[in-house]
Structure 1
Amino acid sequence: MADTAAVIPLSQGAGYGVVVGLGALFAFGMIAVSEVMKRRGNVENSEEFTVAKRSLGTGLTAAGVTSSWTWSTTLLSSVTVAYEYGVAGSFFYAACNSTQIMVFSNLAIQTKRKAPNARTFLEIIRVRYGTIAHFSFMFFSLASNILVVSSILIGGAAAINSLTGMNVYASVWLLPLGVSVYTIRGGLRATILTDYIHTAIILIVILFFWFKVYASGTQIGSPGKMWDLLIAAAQRNNYSAPTKDGSYLTIRSLDALKFAILSILEYTGVVFLDNSFHQKGIAADPASAIPGYVLGGLAWYAMPFTLATTMGILAVALENTPAFPTYPRRMNTQEIGAGLTLPFAAQTIAGKGGAGAGKSSNNPWIVKRTLLIFAET
């Protein structure tokens, strides 16, 4: 069967409009907030810029932690893993990648006890272990952040490209501009406030997807129908998951368990070298450090688990229907590796017609923009 390209539902103008417009909105919004706080007596100095005067409450700490771990690659990868392993993938992905956040609650309180005036975790390393260890951690922290930021930008750019056809290189360069502007102007507090908004947007969109798939949608509409479609999918040729009996409805999967072990080892190293996680603990109020990290870890678990068990298995259930963008073929290796399972599944339930129709006139305007915002976030 000839390989057919997936239909792009939106114009490039929509992609540029959301990437540039949304970035500018957040930038100017946070600049305005910083200016209002300054007029109300907030003193802007190094303590405010780097650690927000160590005054973050439980809610902002939890939102900051949740947003810091909710990368575009996290959302795209969780859905991809669920597409490949079924519910086993979503379970292991969420469980294994939320444990690191919980561990940070202990690190945060120890930082408050033993280094209450520290501004960064690298400063603690220098004082406790000396110059050589300090430079070693600086190098690995920089390398880790370069890899993380690169993966986030590439994942978000790939999702936006699949929805709009916007140039990937343009996305990679334009996405960080708004973040850079409000971070330079408002420091850590502006970043935390933006994290709060990002988290709210992501939660709203995840709930929209969940209700659309399991409650109100016409394509599935109930957990029972999803169950039947996944059983039927496991019986189709070349569809069975690497789990017990090829089922998408079991967590008994040796391959998924191997993935979980590798995931714990990989992301533990990434998190402990990521300054943003340490910085939230340093900036938190002493009474808010532990509850903020614990609440953030619990909240984060629900996000990839819910999204993956909605959109990942939705792609399995409906991939052989005309509503799926790549129909009549399955997604190829390149599309799966690029994390396009989520945007393709989102197009499917948003009312997009079959790929042969070549248009998306059934998609409401707000749904299209929501998908783009979700991809960028």
Structure 2
Amino acid sequence: MSAGTTCPVDLSPGTESTRFNPVIEKYELALLMLLGFAGFSALIGIAYNSIRRYVFKDFHSLDVIFDAGGRVSLSLTAVTVTSQLLWPADFLQSPTMASKVGISGSLYYTLAIVLSVLVFAVLCIQLKTRAPGAKTFPQIAYARFGKNTHILFCVVALFTNMVIVANLILAGKAAIEVLSKDSSNEFTLMILAVLFGSYCMIGGLGTTFYISYFNTALIFITTSLFILKFTYLVEPEVEEVTSHKALHTAMSCLKGPDGNYENSFLTFRSESGIIYGIVTLFMTIAIVFCDQANWQSRIAAKPREGMLGFLIAAFLWYAIPTSISFVSSMTYKTMSFKNGTNLLTDEEIDEGYITPFVVQSLLGKEGCFVLLTLMTMTLMSTGSGEVMSVSSVLVYDIIKTHIDPFRPGAQPTDCVLCGKSKIPIAMDDVPRDPFPLAIVVI
């Protein structure tokens, strides 16, 4: 179909499943992920352990494993939160919404997540100031409301971690199957398990923070390469579907959904996009606030560094999924416009195959390696954070509180060290606190 076709054009849905042709060999994938990323991260973990053992002399401290000493800098907090907030779904599902709703779908999706992070940054500063000794957010529920509420919060925290890990596994499995040849489920799960637990099991949360520098840098580099190869440093055969003129012509001629202003894909006035953004906002708030990995990153820093780190992370995170989804979704729409019909079926679009399909079709094997690197960085950061969060809940909230406590029989209001009871006394001089409480030891 030529660009001069009468507008608007409503693309017919794809009827045949696209035959993806994976170009990465199985052994290349194993070498890149196991020896490249996981091996390098394990070396960083060993070096971190040596520093804590011989320089700081606190290697055997349990708290150092789960809060990295409690004095993490502003930059470490920002890059760690940025890398842990980037999920593979941000590169797979965000283009899906952009292809269905238009550019508003990707924008409102990103804004919803950024707003949830900003709200969390304001809330989590209370944790460090009101409960400086807490290592997990269920511990606060235990101190204030007792055993039954604490068990409920532990179940919610572990269930949230399970949902996030399941999301990572499904997204990672989809990306590996599309990009790599002959990747079985067992092979994929083994790769993901090594990526999730290789270095955090060696160096704890401290290694996760330092690896985040490496992950975040690679994410920004690969994202920049991705955009440059599609927009500026393009090959002649690729330019016909990625040039600014081709993208604008196709997106202007294609008929968008009925809720969009003038049925255009190039508008932010979209009913579907706004509704999707609101739903995403509430869903993300529920996940972010109940994810111990986010609280753990906050606990590891001082109040000022922690809050500013989350604010900077929201700013850094905003640029990545939006740019990826805009470029990949509009390029796919342009390719489909020239073909006269959607190149992917509705099921393949819903599974998030737009970005892998565009990269594989236009950039070849080199582009697949870039996308695989980008996906691996997101899997490593978020997966390791979930491993550490589950471990902290099991150690602090289940084992040390209910199974093998330091002082058996102690009540939540009893001092763990001396065993004496604490009396809550209301404080009238502390405004704006919905639960004013001061704890003094008798």
What TM-score, normalized by structure 1, do the two folds share?
A: 0.87
Contact 1:160–1:376 (8 Å) recurs in 2: no
- Which one of 297, 308, 325 corresponds to residue 325 of structure 2? 308
Q: Cα 1:91–1:373, aligned 2, differ >3 Å: closer, same or farther?
A: same
- Which one of 191, 195, 201 corresponds to residue 184 of structure 1? 201
Q: 2:325 matched to 1:290?
A: no
Contact 1:108–1:281 (8 Å) recurs in 2: yes
Instruction: Give 1:149-298 correspondences, 5 Å limit.
Output: 149-165=165-181, 166-217=183-234, 218=236, 219-220=238-239, 222-232=243-253, 234=254, 243-298=260-315
**Shift of residue 225, structure 1, vs aligned partner:** 3.5
Contact 1:56–1:283 (8 Å) recurs in 2: yes
Which structure has the larger Rg?
Answer: 2
Partners of 2:341 and 2:41 lie apart in 1 by: 42
Partners of 2:135 and 2:257 lie apart in 1 by: 51
Partners of 1:85 and 1:276 lie apart in 2 by: 32
**Shift of residue 213, structure 1, vs aligned partner:** 2.0
Q: Cα 1:330–1:169, aligned 2, differ >3 Å: closer, same or farther?
A: farther
Q: Cα 1:117–1:2, aligned 2, differ >3 Å: closer, same or farther?
A: closer
Contact 2:108–2:274 (8 Å) recurs in 1: yes
Q: Which stretch has the larger CA shift, 69-78 or 3-12?
A: 3-12
Identity over aligned pairs, percent = 24
Contact 2:246–2:334 (8 Å) recurs in 1: no
Q: Cα 1:4–1:282, aligned 2, differ >3 Å: closer, same or farther?
A: closer
Q: Which stretch has the larger CA shift, 114-123 or 220-229?
A: 220-229
Aligned to 1:41: 56
**Shift of residue 292, structure 1, vs aligned partner:** 0.5
Q: 2:75 matched to 1:59?
A: yes
Provide structure 1 residue ranges, at least 5 long, that are not aligned to the other structure. Answer: 353-362
Partners of 1:241 and 1:346 lie apart in 2 by: 30
Contact 1:56–1:285 (8 Å) recurs in 2: yes
Q: CA RMSD in A?
A: 2.2
- Which one of 98, 103, 108 corresponds to residue 114 of structure 2? 98
**Shift of residue 290, structure 1, vs aligned partner:** 1.5
Q: 2:374 matched to 1:374?
A: yes
Aligned to 2:428: none
Q: Which stretch has the larger CA shift, 2-11 or 258-267?
A: 2-11
Q: Which stretch has the larger CA shift, 66-75 or 13-22?
A: 13-22
Contact 1:65–1:296 (8 Å) recurs in 2: yes
**Shift of residue 128, structure 1, vs aligned partner:** 2.1
Provide structure 2 residue ranges, at least 5 long, that are not aligned to the other structure. Answer: 1-14, 378-442
Letter of the 1:87 counterpart: I
Letter of the 1:24 counterpart: A
Q: 2:159 matched to 1:143?
A: yes
Q: Cα 1:321–1:162, aligned 2, differ >3 Å: closer, same or farther?
A: farther
**Shift of residue 42, structure 1, vs aligned partner:** 4.8
Q: 2:348 matched to 1:335?
A: yes
Aligned to 1:6: 20
Q: Cα 1:344–1:37, aligned 2, differ >3 Å: closer, same or farther?
A: same
Q: Cα 1:255–1:146, aligned 2, differ >3 Å: closer, same or farther?
A: same
Contact 1:27–1:178 (8 Å) recurs in 2: no
Aligned to 1:88: 104
Aligned to 2:437: none
**Shift of residue 148, structure 1, vs aligned partner:** 0.8
**Shift of residue 372, structure 1, vs aligned partner:** 1.6
**Shift of residue 375, structure 1, vs aligned partner:** 2.5
Q: Cα 1:145–1:2, aligned 2, differ >3 Å: closer, same or farther?
A: closer
Partners of 2:311 and 2:351 lie apart in 1 by: 31
Contact 1:51–1:283 (8 Å) recurs in 2: yes
- 1:31-75 Cα deviation digits (max 9, x unpaired): 232234133335221121111111111111111111111011222
Q: How many residues align?
A: 356
Partners of 2:358 and 2:261 lie apart in 1 by: 25
Contact 2:86–2:317 (8 Å) recurs in 1: yes
Aligned to 2:45: 31
Letter of the 2:327 counterpart: T
- Which one of 140, 145, 157 corresponds to residue 124 of structure 1? 140
Aligned to 2:407: none
